[in-house]
Amino acid sequence: MMLMPLLEIKDLHVWFRVFKGFLKVLEGVNFVVWPGERVGLVGEMGCGKTTTMKAVMRILPMPPAIIPEGEILFKGKDILKMGRGELQEIRRKKISMIFQDPTAALNPVFKIGTQLRDTVRFARGSKRSITKGDIRTRTMQVLKEVSLPDPERILENYPIQLSGGMRQRICISMALISTNELLIADEPGTSLDVTIKDQIRRLLGGLVEKLGTSVILVSHALGAVRNMTVRVYVMYAGSMVEVAKTKALFANALHPYSQGLLAAIPRLAGGGVGEGIPGHIPEYINPPTGCRFHPRCKHTMPICRNKKPPFFKVEEGHQVACFLFQNRE
Amino acid sequence: MTIERFKKYFVTRQGIVKAVDGISFSVKEGEIFGLVGESGSGKSTVAYTVVGMYRPTEGKIIYRGKDIGQESKKRPKKLKKDIQIVFQDPGTSLNPRRTIRQILELPLKVHNFSKNGRKRVERVEKLLEMVQLPVGYMYKYPTMIGGGEKQIVGIARALATDPSFVILDEPTSALDVSVQAKIINMLIQFQKKFKLSYLFITHDLSLMRNVASRIAIMYLGKICEIAPASEFFENPLHPYTQMLLSSIPVISEEEETLKPKKVMSKGEIPSPVNVPPGCSFHLRCSKKMDICFREDPAMREVSKEHTVRCHLYTKQVS
Amino acid sequence: MAFSIPESVWGQKVENKMQKNFSSRKKLSRTWEYIRRKWYKFSRNPLSIVGLALICTIIFSAIFASYISPHPESAGKFVNFSEASQSPSLAYLCGTDRFGRDVLTRIFFGYRYSLGMAVIVISIMAPVGIILGLIAGYYKNSWIDTVIMRITDIFIAIPPLILALAICSVLTPSIFNAMLAISVAWWPWYTRMVYEVTSSLKGEFFVQAAQVTGANTTHILFREILPNCMAPVLTKMSLDVGWVILIGATLSFVGLGAQPPIPDLGSMVADASSYLPDLWWEAVFPAFAIMLVVLAFNLFGDGIDDMLGEEKGG
C-alpha cells in the first residue's frame, strides 16, 4: 500500500513577535507519523509541543506568530499552503484534536446534545443534508462508544453538570465522530485523577485500535506514553532531540536530555528523588546557539555551541540529535 | 500536631458538602507526613483548615498543646508565623501585580522583621539565594517567570518567617518532572537543615514514596489507611489503596512488579454531596461484603502504626 | 551584578551611600524599562497615539490659552459690537459671536473649564467609589456589602444626566454646583466595577496567602487587591473625562451649569443654537471642540486598556 507518511513536518520554524524582538520558539522541527501508527511526543512545558500541534491544525494566532520556514505535509500536501476550503475539509474529516482541559474545550452555555449535533453536522459537510433522526442516532452511538452511561440524560446536560472524566470522554467522542485519519491528543487526562486518567487512557487505546486511526499523544510525562505508543519523540526547546521505538527509549535513552528526564522521575521503589536537570529552559528571545541544550548538558563539546545537531541514526528506528553520536553513523 | 475527629462541612445550595467527615491523625515534630487522595477526598480542605483559612465544623486541631481551631484572623501572630503553607497553583498564589520583592517582603513586614527597609531587602536577597534564584528576580513580576520558579518563590515566601510547620499542598503537581526533582530536593534539604515538619499533600504516589515517612490516604472525606511509607507500598491493605497503586504509570518493568496486582479502577468518584451510605467506597470496591452497604467501618490498628478503615480487617483484630 | 564594597575609613556611611546609588541607579533603569515596555503596548494601536496627540494639543491649548489665543480679552467680560457676528476670517479664525468675542479664544479658555471640571470631578468621585467598592467586595455577603451595594444600585438606577439635572435645579446654577451634581451621579459605576473585581479576587490564593501570613485588612485591600483593579478603573477614568465634559456641556446647555460670561463650551453652543443656520460658526465650532475632546479621551482610553494588560514574558 502507500508507504507515504500520513503527517510529515519538515524543518518547521515558528516565531512570535513580541516587545523585545522575536521569540524563536520552534527551530527546525522534524516529525513523521505513519498511517495507523501511535506516536508519542514528550516534552516539558514550554518546549513547543503545543505550538507544533497548533501549527498543524493551523490555529496559531497569526499576527504574533510567523512561520518563516518549514512544511507540514499531510498525505503529501502542505497544510501551511492550503486554502480555506481544503483546510476545512481537513479539519472536519481528517485531523482532529483533543485538548488538555476538557472544561475549557466545551462551551458552557450549550447543552452537550447541541454541541455534538453541531459537530456531526459539520463533519458531514454542507453538501450532504442530514436528517435530525440521523444526527440523534449518531450522537447516541458515539456516546455509547466512549462508555458513557445513560446517553439520553447526558445529551440534555450542560458541561458543568458533568464530572471531569465525563467531559473528557465527550471531547474524545467529538473528536472521533467523523472518520478520522489522525487524532492529536494533547495531554488528555492531565487535569483528571489518576484512576480516571487510567480509564481514559484505556478507552482511547481501545477506540484507536478499533478504528485504525493514527494518534499523536502529547504529554509532559514519559510515564503517560509508555503503554500507549509504539514510537516516541522527545522534544526540547523547539526541536526534536530523540526518536525511538518506545521500548527502546525506556530501555536505553541516549540523548543527555532524555536520560536526565528519565532519571528525574521518582521511582516506586523508593531511593530518593532524582537529581533533576540543572539550569532551566532557555529564553526564546535569545536562545543558545547551536544545540539548545548545551548550557545544561554534562557532555558539551565545542561543536555543540556552534552547530545545531541533526538526527544521527544509531540503530533502526532510533535517532538522536546529539554530536556525541556523530561517529556511529 | 494532632487532628482529632475533625469534620468540615460546607453548606451549599446542592446540600451539605461533607468535605471532611471525621478524621484523626498526628504529625510528629520533624517528620514528613504524607496525605494522599484524589479530587474530592478532602485533603486540601484539611490543609486549609490547619493553616487557618477555614474553621472546623467539629473536632479539634491541636498544635503544640494548644487548640488552634480558629480562622487566621483570630489567631495570634506568633502562630501565623509558625505555620505556613505552599499552595498548589503557582499561577494564582502570587499576586500578578506585585513584584517578587514585595511579595517576599510582606511576611517580613507583617512580623516586624526590621523597621529598616534595607535590612528587609537583604533578607529577601538571602532568601532568593537560598532557593537558588538569581537576585535580580526581585524586581520581576510573577508573570515574567516560569511556573517552577513561581513555585520556588512560593516556597521562599513560606520560609521567610522561619516557620516550624509547613503545609505543602501539591507543590509540584503543576510542574514538569525535572523541575519537580529540583524542588523536591530543595524541600528535603530545607527540612533537614531547618528541622521543619511537613504535611505533604499530593496525588502522585511515586513521589510520595520518596518523600514521606508516614502516609495517610483519604477518600471522600475519610481516611482509609495510615502506614509508614515502606509498609504502605509493600503491604497495602485497603482496597482503595490497592486500586490507586495499581493505576500509577511507571516507567520500567521492575517497577511494574512492585505494584499490586492490577485492580481495574471502576466508576467515578461520587460527589461529596451524595456520599454513599455505609462504607463510602463500597460502590467501587471489588471486595465488598454485605456489611459494607450498611455500616461505615472504624479505624483499626492492624500492626505497628498501620491502621486501616475497612470491614475486611475488623474481624481479624480483637 | 558583582559589586565590591570598599573597605574604607568612612566605614558604614560609604557603604550606605554606594548601596543607595546602586539600587537607585538600578531603579532608574528599571523604571525606564517599565516605561518603554508600557509605551510599546500602548503604541500597538495607531489610534491610541492619535488620541494621545489630540489630548496633548488640547491640554496645551488649555494651559497656555492666554498666550496662544489671538484675542485673550474675549474670554471675559468683553463686548465689541463693531466686530460682532463676523464669519470666520483670518483675524477671527472661528468667527465672532454676537458680543464680538473671538470664538476660537473662547474655545481655548473653554477647554480650561471643561478639563478642569473633569479632573476635579473624577478625582473626587473615583476614590470614593473605589474605596466603597473595595470594602463592599471584601466583606461580600455581610451587611456592609448589602448596605453599600443597595445604595449604589439606587444611584445607578437613575440616569446620570437626569440626576445631575435634578440636583442642579435645586441648587443655584453655577459651575461649582454642576461639578457637585455630576460627582454624585457618577461614583456608583466605580463602586460596582471595583466590587466585581474585589469579590472575585477575594478567594484567590494570593489573597489567602496574605491573610495566612497575617497581613491586616488595609494592606490586603490597598496593596493586594487594588492594583489588580486599576486597569479597568484607569481605562474607565479616561473614558469618563469625555462623559463628564459632555454632561457638563449639557447642563450648561440648559442653563444649569456655568453662567455667562464664563466661556463654557456647552453654554456657547446653547447660546448660539438659536442663530443656526445663519451664524453657524458660533455653535458649530464649540460643538466640534466638544466632540474633539471626547474623541481624544476615548481613543486614549483604549490605549490605556491595552497598556495595562498584565506583564508577560521578560
At C217-260, the pLDDT tens digits run 788 788 888 888 888 888 888 888 888 888 887 877 777 777 76
pLDDT higher than 80, residue A258: yes
Q: Strands of B83-86's sheet, edge to edge?
A: B83-86, B165-169, B197-202, B32-37, B214-219, B222-228, B306-308, B300-303
Residue C40's closest chain A neighbor by CA? A19
Closest chain A C-alpha to C210 CA, distance in angstroms: 27
Q: Which residues of B touch A161 (CB under 8 A)?
A: none
Q: Is A199 on the interface with B (CB under 8 A)?
A: yes
Assign C70 a pLDDT band (cuts: 50, 70, 90). confident
Residues A264, B38: C-beta atoms closer than 8 Å: no
Number of H helices, E strands in chain B: 13, 12
pLDDT higher than 50, residue C1: no
Percentage of chain B surpassing pLDDT 70?
87
Chain segment A52-95, per-residue pLDDT in tens = 888 888 888 888 888 888 888 888 888 888 888 888 888 877 88
Residue B162's closest chain C neighbor by CA? C213
Predicted pLDDT of residue C21: 45
Superfamily covering domain C53-70+109-313:
MetI-like (1.10.3720.10)
Ramachandran assignment for A175, one of left (phi > 0), alpha (psi -120 to 50 degrees), beta (any other):
alpha
Cα–Cα dist C131/C238, whole Å: 19
Residues B141, C311: C-beta atoms closer than 8 Å: yes
Closest chain C C-alpha to B242 CA, distance in angstroms: 33
pLDDT higher than 80, residue B150: yes
Residues A264, B180: C-beta atoms closer than 8 Å: yes
Q: Provide residues of A within 8 Å CB-CB of chain C.
A: 18-20, 23, 283, 285
Cell of B221: 472525606
How large is the greatest C-alpha to C-alpha distance in chain B, in angstroms?
Answer: 68
Its ipTM equals 0.74
Cα–Cα dist A279/A283, whole Å: 12
For residues B41-49, average pLDDT = 84
Percentage of chain C surpassing pLDDT 90?
0
Residue C229's closest chain B neighbor by CA? B97
Chain segment B232-291, per-residue pLDDT in tens = 888 888 888 888 887 777 666 666 666 666 666 666 666 666 677 777 777 777 777 777
Q: Which residues of B touch C216 (CB under 8 A)?
A: 110
pLDDT higher than 70, residue A314: yes
Residues B81, C214: C-beta atoms closer than 8 Å: yes
For residues C287-307, average pLDDT = 84
Predicted pLDDT of residue C6: 36
Chain segment A271-293, per-residue pLDDT in tens = 667 777 777 778 888 888 888 88
Residues A264, B247: C-beta atoms closer than 8 Å: no
- Yes or no: say if C282 and C270 are a contact pair by the CB < 8 Å rule: no
pLDDT higher than 60, residue A1: no
Taking CA atoms, B176 is separated from A278, C92, C206, in Å, by 13, 72, 22
Chain segment B165-220, per-residue pLDDT in tens = 899 988 888 788 888 888 888 888 888 888 888 999 988 888 888 888 889 888 88
Predicted pLDDT of residue A91: 81
Q: Which of A16, A17, A19, A22 to mutate to test the interface with C (most CBs of C within 10 A)?
A: A19
Assign A179 a pLDDT band (cuts: 50, 70, 90). low
Q: Which of B52, B95, B161 lies at the smallest CB-CB distance from C224?
A: B95
Residue B139's closest chain C neighbor by CA? C30
Residue A247's closest chain B neighbor by CA? B252
Confidence (pTM) = 0.77
Residues C206, B89: C-beta atoms closer than 8 Å: no
Q: Is C15 on the interface with B (CB under 8 A)?
A: no
Residues B252, A250: C-beta atoms closer than 8 Å: yes
Predicted pLDDT of residue A233: 92
Residues A268, B181: C-beta atoms closer than 8 Å: no
Q: Which of C1, C212, C314 lies at the smallest CB-CB distance from B85?
A: C212
Chain segment A100-154, per-residue pLDDT in tens = 777 778 888 888 888 888 888 777 665 566 677 777 887 788 787 777 777 888 8
Q: Is B288 on the interface with A (CB under 8 A)?
A: no
Number of H helices, E strands in chain C: 12, 0
Q: Are strands A182-186 and A95-98 parallel, antiparallel or unpaired?
A: parallel
Predicted pLDDT of residue B238: 84
Residues A270, B146: C-beta atoms closer than 8 Å: no
Give the residue with greater pLDDT, C240 vs B117. Answer: C240
Chain segment C27-45, per-residue pLDDT in tens = 777 778 778 777 877 777 8
Q: Give the count of Cβ contacts less than 8 A between chain A and C.
A: 9
Chain C contact partners (≥3 CB pairs within 8 A) = A, B
Residues A18, C313: C-beta atoms closer than 8 Å: yes
Q: Which residues of B touch A275 (CB under 8 A)?
A: 181, 185
Predicted pLDDT of residue B317: 43
Cα–Cα dist C239/C235, whole Å: 6
Q: Worst-scoring range by mean pLDDT, B221-225, C266-270, C286-290?
A: C266-270
Give the residue with greater pLDDT, C85 vs B202. Answer: B202
pLDDT higher than 50, residue A215: yes
Cα–Cα dist A225/A40, whole Å: 6
Chain segment A196-210, per-residue pLDDT in tens = 777 777 777 787 788
Give the residue with greater pLDDT, B32 vs C216. Answer: B32
Q: Is B151 on the interface with A (CB under 8 A)?
A: no
Q: Which residues of A touch B269 (CB under 8 A)?
A: 163, 193, 195-196
Assign C3 a pLDDT band (cuts: 50, 70, 90). very low
Can you state the percent helix, strand and coil of chain B, rounding each to 5? 40, 25, 40
Average model confidence (pLDDT) across chain A: 82
Predicted pLDDT of residue C162: 83
The contacts of residue A134 (CB under 8 Å, 6+ apart) are: none
Predicted pLDDT of residue A164: 74
Where is mean pLDDT largest: B15-24, B169-178, B273-282, C172-181? B169-178
In the chain, the amino acid numbered A199 is Q
Assign C19 a pLDDT band (cuts: 50, 70, 90). very low
Cα dihedral sign, B206-B211-B213-B217: negative
Predicted pLDDT of residue C4: 33
For residues C86-98, average pLDDT = 76
Chain segment B277-310, per-residue pLDDT in tens = 777 777 777 777 777 777 777 777 777 778 888 7
Percentage of chain A surpassing pLDDT 90?
1
For residues C269-276, average pLDDT = 77
pLDDT higher than 70, residue A189: no
pLDDT higher than 50, residue C12: no
pLDDT higher than 60, residue C136: yes
Predicted pLDDT of residue C16: 46
Closest chain A C-alpha to C78 CA, distance in angstroms: 54
pLDDT higher than 50, residue C14: no
Cα–Cα dist A67/A72, whole Å: 11
Residues B249, A224: C-beta atoms closer than 8 Å: yes
Ramachandran assignment for A94, one of left (phi > 0), alpha (psi -120 to 50 degrees), beta (any other):
alpha
Q: Which residues of C touch A287 (CB under 8 A)?
A: none
Q: Which residues of A touch B263 (CB under 8 A)?
A: none
Residues A18, C41: C-beta atoms closer than 8 Å: no
Under DSSP, the state recorded for A92 is I
Domain boundaries defined on chain C: 53-70+109-313
Q: Worst-scoring range by mean pLDDT, A183-192, B27-36, B42-51, C70-79?
A: C70-79
Average model confidence (pLDDT) across chain C: 77
Give the residue with greater pLDDT, C168 vs A71. Answer: A71
Q: Which residues of B touch A271 (CB under 8 A)?
A: 210
H helices within chain B, ranges in order?
43-51, 77-82, 90-93, 100-110, 117-130, 147-159, 177-194, 205-211, 229-234, 239-246, 253-258, 290-294, 311-314
Q: Which of B93, B98, B144 lies at the smallest CB-CB distance from C227?
A: B98
